[in-house]
Amino acid sequence: MKLIPPNGEKRVLLHSCCAPCSGEIMEAMVASGIQLTVIFYNPNIHPVDEYQRRKEENIRFTQKMKIPFVDADYDQDRWFLHTKGLENEPERGKRCALCFYLRLAKTASFARDNGFKIFTSSFGVSRWKNIHQVNESGMRAASRYPGLIYWTYNWRKDGGSLRMVEIARREDFYRQNYCGCVYSLNRRTPAKAIKH
Protein backbone atom coordinates (compact mmCIF):
# COMPACT_ATOMS: atom_id res chain seq x y z
CA MET A 1 0.00 0.00 0.00
CA LYS A 2 1.43 3.36 -1.04
CA LEU A 3 1.22 6.13 1.54
CA ILE A 4 0.29 9.59 0.34
CA PRO A 5 0.90 12.41 2.84
CA PRO A 6 -1.54 15.34 3.05
CA ASN A 7 -1.41 17.64 0.01
CA GLY A 8 0.86 15.11 -1.71
CA GLU A 9 3.90 16.44 0.19
CA LYS A 10 7.08 14.45 -0.33
CA ARG A 11 8.93 15.45 2.87
CA VAL A 12 7.69 14.27 6.27
CA LEU A 13 9.09 14.67 9.78
CA LEU A 14 8.35 11.66 11.99
CA HIS A 15 8.53 11.94 15.76
CA SER A 16 9.71 8.55 17.01
CA CYS A 17 8.94 7.43 20.54
CA CYS A 18 10.86 4.16 20.12
CA ALA A 19 12.16 1.89 17.36
CA PRO A 20 9.56 -0.89 17.88
CA CYS A 21 6.70 1.58 17.31
CA SER A 22 8.43 3.45 14.48
CA GLY A 23 10.07 0.69 12.44
CA GLU A 24 7.00 -0.19 10.40
CA ILE A 25 6.18 3.48 9.79
CA MET A 26 9.71 4.17 8.59
CA GLU A 27 9.69 1.20 6.22
CA ALA A 28 6.23 2.09 4.85
CA MET A 29 7.21 5.71 4.21
CA VAL A 30 10.49 4.83 2.53
CA ALA A 31 8.72 2.22 0.36
CA SER A 32 6.22 4.95 -0.63
CA GLY A 33 9.01 7.28 -1.79
CA ILE A 34 8.54 9.74 1.07
CA GLN A 35 11.60 11.79 2.03
CA LEU A 36 11.57 11.01 5.72
CA THR A 37 13.46 12.56 8.62
CA VAL A 38 13.13 11.11 12.13
CA ILE A 39 13.24 13.27 15.25
CA PHE A 40 13.77 11.84 18.73
CA TYR A 41 12.53 14.11 21.51
CA ASN A 42 11.39 12.11 24.52
CA PRO A 43 12.27 13.85 27.81
CA ASN A 44 9.65 11.74 29.57
CA ILE A 45 11.76 8.56 29.34
CA HIS A 46 13.16 7.53 32.70
CA PRO A 47 15.77 6.63 33.81
CA VAL A 48 18.47 8.12 31.59
CA ASP A 49 19.95 4.72 30.66
CA GLU A 50 16.50 3.69 29.35
CA TYR A 51 16.40 6.91 27.31
CA GLN A 52 19.84 6.16 25.85
CA ARG A 53 18.87 2.59 25.00
CA ARG A 54 15.73 3.66 23.14
CA LYS A 55 17.58 6.43 21.32
CA GLU A 56 20.38 4.07 20.25
CA GLU A 57 17.84 1.63 18.77
CA ASN A 58 16.37 4.51 16.73
CA ILE A 59 19.81 5.54 15.54
CA ARG A 60 20.70 1.97 14.58
CA PHE A 61 17.56 1.55 12.47
CA THR A 62 17.63 4.99 10.84
CA GLN A 63 21.25 4.40 9.83
CA LYS A 64 20.32 1.04 8.34
CA MET A 65 17.44 2.67 6.43
CA LYS A 66 19.60 5.71 5.48
CA ILE A 67 17.08 8.07 7.08
CA PRO A 68 18.28 11.39 8.57
CA PHE A 69 18.04 11.33 12.38
CA VAL A 70 17.62 14.38 14.64
CA ASP A 71 18.52 14.08 18.31
CA ALA A 72 16.46 16.83 19.94
CA ASP A 73 18.17 16.41 23.31
CA TYR A 74 17.07 15.17 26.71
CA ASP A 75 15.25 17.87 28.65
CA GLN A 76 13.85 15.90 31.59
CA ASP A 77 13.74 18.87 34.02
CA ARG A 78 11.35 20.67 31.67
CA TRP A 79 9.17 17.55 31.43
CA PHE A 80 8.95 17.21 35.23
CA LEU A 81 8.15 20.92 35.55
CA HIS A 82 5.25 20.69 33.08
CA THR A 83 3.81 17.46 34.50
CA LYS A 84 4.00 18.53 38.15
CA GLY A 85 0.71 17.83 39.88
CA LEU A 86 -0.22 15.10 37.39
CA GLU A 87 1.88 12.34 38.96
CA ASN A 88 -1.14 10.24 39.95
CA GLU A 89 -2.98 10.51 36.65
CA PRO A 90 -3.73 7.14 35.04
CA GLU A 91 -2.28 5.99 31.74
CA ARG A 92 -4.22 7.80 28.95
CA GLY A 93 -5.07 10.59 31.41
CA LYS A 94 -4.22 14.30 31.51
CA ARG A 95 -0.50 13.71 32.02
CA CYS A 96 -0.28 11.60 28.83
CA ALA A 97 -2.14 14.24 26.81
CA LEU A 98 0.23 16.94 28.10
CA CYS A 99 3.25 14.72 27.46
CA PHE A 100 2.20 14.12 23.86
CA TYR A 101 1.64 17.84 23.38
CA LEU A 102 5.05 18.83 24.83
CA ARG A 103 6.89 16.43 22.54
CA LEU A 104 4.84 17.26 19.47
CA ALA A 105 5.13 21.02 20.09
CA LYS A 106 8.93 20.64 19.99
CA THR A 107 8.57 18.55 16.83
CA ALA A 108 6.30 21.17 15.23
CA SER A 109 8.80 23.90 16.04
CA PHE A 110 11.61 21.89 14.42
CA ALA A 111 9.38 21.20 11.40
CA ARG A 112 8.65 24.89 10.92
CA ASP A 113 12.30 25.89 11.35
CA ASN A 114 13.46 23.28 8.84
CA GLY A 115 10.95 23.66 6.03
CA PHE A 116 8.71 20.66 6.71
CA LYS A 117 5.02 21.16 5.98
CA ILE A 118 3.95 17.77 7.38
CA PHE A 119 4.84 15.97 10.59
CA THR A 120 3.47 12.90 12.32
CA SER A 121 4.24 10.59 15.21
CA SER A 122 4.56 6.93 16.07
CA PHE A 123 2.62 7.42 19.34
CA GLY A 124 -0.67 6.25 17.87
CA VAL A 125 0.60 2.88 16.64
CA SER A 126 0.59 1.49 20.18
CA ARG A 127 -2.65 -0.07 21.38
CA TRP A 128 -1.77 1.30 24.83
CA LYS A 129 -2.16 4.89 23.63
CA ASN A 130 -5.35 6.82 22.95
CA ILE A 131 -5.09 7.71 19.27
CA HIS A 132 -7.56 10.59 19.68
CA GLN A 133 -5.40 12.10 22.43
CA VAL A 134 -2.36 11.77 20.18
CA ASN A 135 -4.07 13.34 17.16
CA GLU A 136 -5.54 16.21 19.19
CA SER A 137 -2.08 16.96 20.62
CA GLY A 138 -0.48 16.87 17.18
CA MET A 139 -3.11 19.10 15.56
CA ARG A 140 -2.86 21.55 18.46
CA ALA A 141 0.93 21.68 18.09
CA ALA A 142 0.62 22.21 14.31
CA SER A 143 -1.95 24.98 14.74
CA ARG A 144 0.75 27.23 16.22
CA TYR A 145 2.36 27.55 12.78
CA PRO A 146 0.36 28.58 9.68
CA GLY A 147 0.61 26.00 6.91
CA LEU A 148 1.96 23.20 9.12
CA ILE A 149 -0.09 19.99 9.15
CA TYR A 150 -0.08 17.11 11.62
CA TRP A 151 -0.69 13.92 9.63
CA THR A 152 -3.34 11.98 11.59
CA TYR A 153 -2.85 8.73 9.71
CA ASN A 154 -3.94 5.62 11.65
CA TRP A 155 -0.73 3.57 11.62
CA ARG A 156 -2.55 0.61 13.23
CA LYS A 157 -4.79 -0.07 10.25
CA ASP A 158 -4.12 -2.32 7.26
CA GLY A 159 -1.97 -4.65 9.36
CA GLY A 160 0.32 -1.88 10.66
CA SER A 161 0.26 -3.21 14.22
CA LEU A 162 1.13 -6.73 13.07
CA ARG A 163 3.98 -5.50 10.85
CA MET A 164 5.23 -3.39 13.76
CA VAL A 165 5.68 -6.57 15.83
CA GLU A 166 7.19 -8.51 12.90
CA ILE A 167 9.77 -5.79 12.20
CA ALA A 168 10.64 -5.44 15.89
CA ARG A 169 11.34 -9.18 16.03
CA ARG A 170 13.21 -9.24 12.72
CA GLU A 171 15.43 -6.31 13.77
CA ASP A 172 15.81 -7.65 17.31
CA PHE A 173 14.78 -4.28 18.72
CA TYR A 174 14.96 -3.72 22.43
CA ARG A 175 11.28 -3.86 23.45
CA GLN A 176 10.47 -1.99 26.62
CA ASN A 177 7.61 -2.99 28.90
CA TYR A 178 6.45 0.48 29.93
CA CYS A 179 5.62 3.79 28.25
CA GLY A 180 8.73 5.57 29.41
CA CYS A 181 7.95 7.96 32.24
CA VAL A 182 8.80 7.30 35.86
CA TYR A 183 5.11 7.14 36.74
CA SER A 184 4.33 4.40 34.21
CA LEU A 185 7.45 2.55 35.38
CA ASN A 186 6.29 2.79 39.00
CA ARG A 187 2.91 1.35 38.03
CA ARG A 188 4.74 -1.66 36.53
CA THR A 189 7.00 -2.11 39.56
CA PRO A 190 5.14 -0.59 42.56
CA ALA A 191 7.17 -2.48 45.17
CA LYS A 192 10.31 -0.72 43.96
CA ALA A 193 8.91 2.73 43.21
CA ILE A 194 11.57 4.95 41.69
CA LYS A 195 12.01 8.54 42.77
CA HIS A 196 13.15 11.18 40.28
User: Tell me, what's the pLDDT at 186?
Assistant: 73
| 11 burial type by CB count under 10 A (0-12 exposed, 13-18 middle, 19+ buried) | middle
User: Tell me, what's the pLDDT at 191?
Assistant: 44
For the chain, which residues score pLDDT lower than 50? 190-196
User: Tell me, what's the pLDDT at 76?
Assistant: 92
Domains of the chain, CATH where assigned:
8-192 (3.40.50.620)
Taking only the tens place, the pLDDT of each residue in 98-127 is 999 999 999 999 999 999 999 999 998 877
Return the half-sphere exposure (C-beta side, CA atoms, 13 A cut-off) of residue 141: 31
pTM over cut 0.75: yes
User: Tell me, what's the pLDDT at 158?
Assistant: 87
